């Protein structure tokens, strides 16, 4: 995604929840989990508003979000991922006790043309271990030069009357897809069914198991499966399916997941963060997957927020894995010929924060340079024109079929034909299978580069994650399991 060039100003607000503001002394050594936190989760909900060159944060509520299921070890995020970052700071020592990078729907929305014309608000949450003593929560945003600066902060006293310590009663039944150990020692993924009526819960169980198995057939998830727990959450709907505005189908489902996010027909998410978080509080989790009971091709994924996939499309396994790559490891889309809602065509690209794309400002210092052999040219040549011609033709045919109201099976056949053509084309290129810097990535045909000629983040081809993406995924697994 490309940041808008419009001038912006930030409203930085310091709020206090049950504690008077005062200077914070420094110099005390950091403390461990048991000294700083209780084994429960604090959730800070806020409203993220902006557009027309401004960005504002307003506190909504501070509540308990169930037992803490995360690691007790690597509490401070050192991966440098995400457009946003929050820090939980000890009021006495000014040490950062906990931090995480993340992305958001708001952050994506402000790269659309609409953000230049009007303002919108989105609900968001920060989740962290319940502090034993007052803390300052600081929300930071990454600017156009890749530096973080403070956007908003609030001081929270966990014993304040403005903080609700009571857990919500579970809204649905939690079940285990597979378990490998205590949540605090594993990465916990929660899969929530959306658009399944009570009589279809057996189908949800089968769909969730099938697609989770597909994820763990891909490396590095396959080799690191023992580091995960995966849970399912039954959340019955009144009607099958979810809202598909372009098809004139509207539903009121528990999570309000819908197609047509940002008016992009196959972009599938929920805007209703509070409903999502309230439902998910029934289980330990770090990552959330919404599995939608629909056959129309669609899905979405936002780093450290949510991933979605339609269960019954012919490419459901691909969508599930691809979108989870966004959500889990902050991987960028590497394709650039498909229709997207975001503004593209920037004349200058700063180095993206996503680990799998680069602006190649310095070919001698590529962020995955240790994986590039000395005889690989940078930029790395590939038959870009031939690929683009075939891809653009397929996109035009897809749009025609949508206008004609073609069945999903017809769309799947088109995607299969495109996949077969691209497998042969990309697999036969001179530098196929090698790490380099191939121009065309992150919705941009020029100026941004991906690490291999093909990857599951680039095409639907059955090639799996490239080496750079695999390493990025392993780094996240290590963080959440507490490995150094």
Q: What is the three-state SS of 71-87?
A: CCCCCCCCCCCCCEEEE
DSSP label of 116 = G
In which residue are the tokens 């790269």 written? 111
**Before 71, cis peptide (omega within 30)?**
no
What is the structure's pLDDT at 343?
Answer: 60
- Per-residue model confidence (pLDDT) at position 398: 84
**Burial class of residue 43, CB neighbours in 10 A (0-12, 13-18, 19+):** buried
Confidence of residue 341 (pLDDT cuts 50, 70, 90): low
- Give me the pLDDT at residue 221, please: 98
> Looking at per-residue confidence, does 367 or 409 come out higher?
367
- Say if residue 29's pLDDT is above 80: no
Q: What percent of the chain has pLDDT over 70?
A: 92
Residue-range domain boundaries for the chain: 9-156, 173-329, 357-473
CA distance 352 to 469: 14
Residue 94 Cα to chain centre, angstroms = 29
Q: Do 208 and 291 form a contact (C-beta atoms < 8 A)?
A: yes
Residue 27 clears pLDDT 50, i.e. is over it: no
Could you give the CA distance from residue 240 to residue 462 in angstroms, rounded to a whole number?
30
CATH architecture, range 9-156: Sandwich (2.60)
Question: 9-156 and 173-329: same fold?
Answer: no
Give residue 144's pLDDT: 84
pLDDT at 10: 40
pLDDT tier, 477 (very low <50, low <70, confident <90, very high otherwise)? very high
Query: What pLDDT, on the 0 to 100 scale, is given for residue 338?
Result: 74
Q: What's the confidence (pLDDT) of residue 93?
A: 94
Which residue do the tokens 């304040």 mark?
Answer: 160
Burial letters 209-224, b for 16+ CB under 10 A, else e? eebbebbbebebbeeb
Least confident of 27-41, 112-126, 289-303, 446-460: 27-41
Per-residue HEC secondary structure of 57-69 comes to EEEEEEEEEEECC
Summary mean pLDDT of the chain: 92
Residues 173-329, CATH architecture? 3-Layer(aba) Sandwich (3.40)
What does the alpha-carbon distance between residue 337 and residue 441 come to, in Å, rounded to a whole number? Answer: 9
Looking at the chain, the whole-number percentage of residues with pLDDT higher than 90 is 84
Q: Beta strand pairing status for 228-234 and 187-194? A: parallel
Residue 384 has pLDDT above 80, yes or no: yes
Beta carbons of 104 and 84 less than 8 angstroms apart? yes
- Encode pLDDT of 279-310 as tens digits: 999 999 999 999 999 999 999 999 999 999 99
Long-range contacts of 470-474 (CB under 8 A, 24+ apart): 470/219, 470/220, 471/355, 471/368, 471/371, 472/329, 472/330, 472/331, 472/355, 472/356, 473/220, 473/221, 473/325, 473/328, 473/329, 473/331, 474/220, 474/224
- 30-34, 166-170, 343-347, range with greatest mean pLDDT: 166-170
Task: Give yes or no for residue 86 having a pLDDT over 90.
Answer: yes
Predicted confidence (pLDDT) at residue 333 exceeds the cutoff of 70: yes
Q: Is the pLDDT of residue 9 over 70?
A: no
pLDDT at 16: 57
How far, in Å, CA of 213 to CA of 315, rounded?
Answer: 14
Residues 91-116: what's their mean pLDDT?
96
Q: How confident is the model at residue 348 (pLDDT cuts 50, 70, 90)?
A: confident
pTM (2 d.p.): 0.92
């Amino acid at each position: 995604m490309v940041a808008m060039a419009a001038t912006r100003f930030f409203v930085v607000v310091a709020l206090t929840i049950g504690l008077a503001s005062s200077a914070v002394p420094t110099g005390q050594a950091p403390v461990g989990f048991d000294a700083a936190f209780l084994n429960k989760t604090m959730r800070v909900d806020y409203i993220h508003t902006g557009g027309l060159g401004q960005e504002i944060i307003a506190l909504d509520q501070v509540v308990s979000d169930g037992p803490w299921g995360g690691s007790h070890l690597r509490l401070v995020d050192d991966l440098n991922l995400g457009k946003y970052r929050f820090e939980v700071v000890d009021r006495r020592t000014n040490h950062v006790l906990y931090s995480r990078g993340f992305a958001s729907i708001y952050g994506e929305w402000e790269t659309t043309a609409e953000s230049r014309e009007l303002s919108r608000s989105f609900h968001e949450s920060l989740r962290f271990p319940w502090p034993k003593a007052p803390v300052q929560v600081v929300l930071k945003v990454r600017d156009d030069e890749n530096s973080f600066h403070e956007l908003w902060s609030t001081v929270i006293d966990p014993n304040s009357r403005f903080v609700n310590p009571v857990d919500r009663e579970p809204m649905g039944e939690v079940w285990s897809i597979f378990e490998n150990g205590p949540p605090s020692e594993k990465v916990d993924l929660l899969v929530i069914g959306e658009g399944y009526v009570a009589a279809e819960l057996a189908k949800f169980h089968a769909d969730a198991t099938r697609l989770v198995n597909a994820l763990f057939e891909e490396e590095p998830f396959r080799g690191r499966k023992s580091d995960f727990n995966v849970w399912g959450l039954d959340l019955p709907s009144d009607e099958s399916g979810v809202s598909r505005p372009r098809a004139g189908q509207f539903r009121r489902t528990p999570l309000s997941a819908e197609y047509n996010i940002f008016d992009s027909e196959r972009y599938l998410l929920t805007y209703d963060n509070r409903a999502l978080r309230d439902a998910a509080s029934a289980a330990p989790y770090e990552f959330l997957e919404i599995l939608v009971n629909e056959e129309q091709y669609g899905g979405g994924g936002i780093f450290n927020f949510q991933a979605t996939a339609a269960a019954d499309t012919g490419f459901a396994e691909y969508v599930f894995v691809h979108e989870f790559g966004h959500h889990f490891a902050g991987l960028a889309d590497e394709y650039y010929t498909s229709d997207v809602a975001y503004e593209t065509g920037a004349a200058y690209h700063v180095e993206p924060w996503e680990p799998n794309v680069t602006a190649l400002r310095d070919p001698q210092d590529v962020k995955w340079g240790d994986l590039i052999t000395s005889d690989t040219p940078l930029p790395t040549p590939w038959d870009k024109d031939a690929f683009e011609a075939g891809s653009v033709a397929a996109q035009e045919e897809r749009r025609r079929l949508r206008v004609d109201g073609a069945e999903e099976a017809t769309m799947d056949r088109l995607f299969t034909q495109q996949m077969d053509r691209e497998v042969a084309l990309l697999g036969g290129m001179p530098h196929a299978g090698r790490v380099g810097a191939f121009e065309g990535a992150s919705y941009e045909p020029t100026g941004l580069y991906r690490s291999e000629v093909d990857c599951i983040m680039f095409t639907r081809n059955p090639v799996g994650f490239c080496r750079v993406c695999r390493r990025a995924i392993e780094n996240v697994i290590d963080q959440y399991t507490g490995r150094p």
